[in-house]
Amino acid sequence: MGNEHGMTSRSQRVLKIRNWINQYDSCFIATDTYAIRWLTGFTGSNGLLFLDQNHMTLFTDSRYENQAAIELARFGAKSNCVVGPNPMRSIADLSKGKNIFIDSEKCSWAKKEEIESQIEGEIVDAHDFCFSLRGIKDKSEIDKIKTAAEITCRALDRSLAELDEQTTEKELAGKIEYYMALEGASNVAYPPIVAAGSNSALPHARPTGQRILTQDILLVDIGANYKGYCSDMTRMIPLSTMSAEQKHVSQIVLDAQRKAIEAIRPGIMAKEIDGICRDALNDKGFGDRFLHGTGHGVGLEIHEFPRINSRSEDLIQEGMVITVEPGIYLEDSFGIRWEDLFLVTDTGVEYLTNYGKLTQLDETQG
């Protein structure tokens, strides 16, 4: 069982959904493993959760009979667990003809049709609600994300300490994963991006067999997963004295990130943060080389609510965990991206990625 604070926060998660569906006299079904874990603690790959004002029932198969019982008890979830091959008849009985909310982006068309064929009510899309549901983190979630971020920083230090003339991008990526595991990670939050030289100009570069120290700069985008929660960080690491152009571009990106970070506070629109980064890069003539959004929420998934891009209508709130990651990518030359992870506080932000930013081998900034 969790502590009293943890138990309270978990019950509030269920209450949040119940209060919402009560407005529509409806039920709620989660088919998404992340939503199910958030509500029950169950980590299995096959599950369906039914929730209304009187019932919370997890349906799974015989592989998870013992695991589900243990995890639900450990989490403190007041959920009934039903093991069987087909939960639809039970869901039809439980829903009593009411409409059922589902997240359309997490539920397959086949599953939607299967549910629809068994119930008397209608299936109603609840994606917008579900997407925002986990946006504000409670203390237990923040603690896990902080630990994941600390593991990420230690693993990078240990991996870079072993960098030699023979180390390839693939090998460094493997070392980072290895040291994350040794430092206590459950796994990686996503496959590491390790990109040296001109490969750094690819925002989502895949590690290659290129030897790192034959190049002049190295970009690493990495994150650990700790007890289900992710971290996210990008660092540009100079491998030799940076050229004047590289140093100039790096400072432009750092300045854009700093301006955006300084503006973050509860109540600001996410697109305003993106606009600050984008304007800063535009003013220096590199706006067209910023090829992605400024950031995103992080939690059980590496990309969560809120979205921090030019089209976002999401509002930044206290308790969110977000990234700010402007970048400039010069094709066939090099790329610079700085990314940090933050907890939004009542007055601004708290850094969760406390790792230095080198713009020369003998100089630390940021």
**Mean pLDDT calculated for residue range 30-42:** 95
Q: Examine the pLDDT at 290 and tell me if it is beyond 90.
A: yes
Residues near 290 by beta carbon (within 8 Å), at least 6 away in sequence: 277, 278, 281, 326, 327, 328, 329
Per-residue pLDDT of 277-289, as tens digits, reads: 999 999 999 999 9
pLDDT of residue 1: 38
Tokens of 291: 């090829």
Predicted confidence (pLDDT) per residue in 148-197, tens digit: 999 999 999 999 999 999 999 999 999 999 999 999 999 999 999 999 99
The tokens of 7 are what?
A: 């138990």
What is the arithmetic mean of pLDDT over 133-148?
96
State how far the Cα of 270 lies from the Cα of 255, in Å rounded to an integer. 18
**pLDDT tens, 196-212?**
999 999 999 999 999 99
pLDDT of residue 88: 86
What CATH class has 139-365?
Answer: alpha beta
Pair 178, 253: CB distance under 8 Å: no
- Contacts of residue 128, defined as CB under 8 A and 6 or more positions apart, other chains included, come to none
Residue 358's DSSP bridge partners are 364
* Burial readout 344-365 (b: 16 or more C-beta within 10 A, e: otherwise): beeeebeebbebebbbeeeeee
Position 6 scores a pLDDT of: 56
Per the CATH hierarchy, to which homologous superfamily does domain 4-133 belong?
Answer: Creatinase/prolidase N-terminal domain (3.40.350.10)
- Spatial distance between the Cα atoms of 322 and 61, rounded to a whole number of angstroms: 35
Structure tokens given for 274:
């993106």
Q: Which of 177, 174, 175 is nearest to 186 (CA)?
A: 177
Give me the amino acid identity at 192.
Answer: P
Domain coordinates of the chain in residue numbers? 4-133, 139-365
Question: What 8-state DSSP symbol labels residue 2?
Answer: -
Residue 362 has pLDDT above 60, yes or no: no
Least confident of 108-122, 133-147, 310-324: 108-122
Dump pLDDT digits (tens) for 99-111.
Answer: 999 999 999 898 8
The secondary structure of 160-174 as a DSSP string is HTT--TT-BHHHHHH
**148-151: long-range pairs with CB below 8 Å, 24+:** 148/185, 148/189, 148/223, 148/224, 148/225, 148/226, 148/229, 148/230, 148/231, 149/224, 149/231, 149/233, 149/341, 149/352, 149/353, 149/354, 150/354, 151/180, 151/183, 151/184, 151/185, 151/224, 151/226, 151/231
The pLDDT confidence band at residue 2, using thresholds 50, 70 and 90, is very low
Pair of tokens at residue 229: 């929660």
The two beta strands, 295-297 and 224-226, are: unpaired
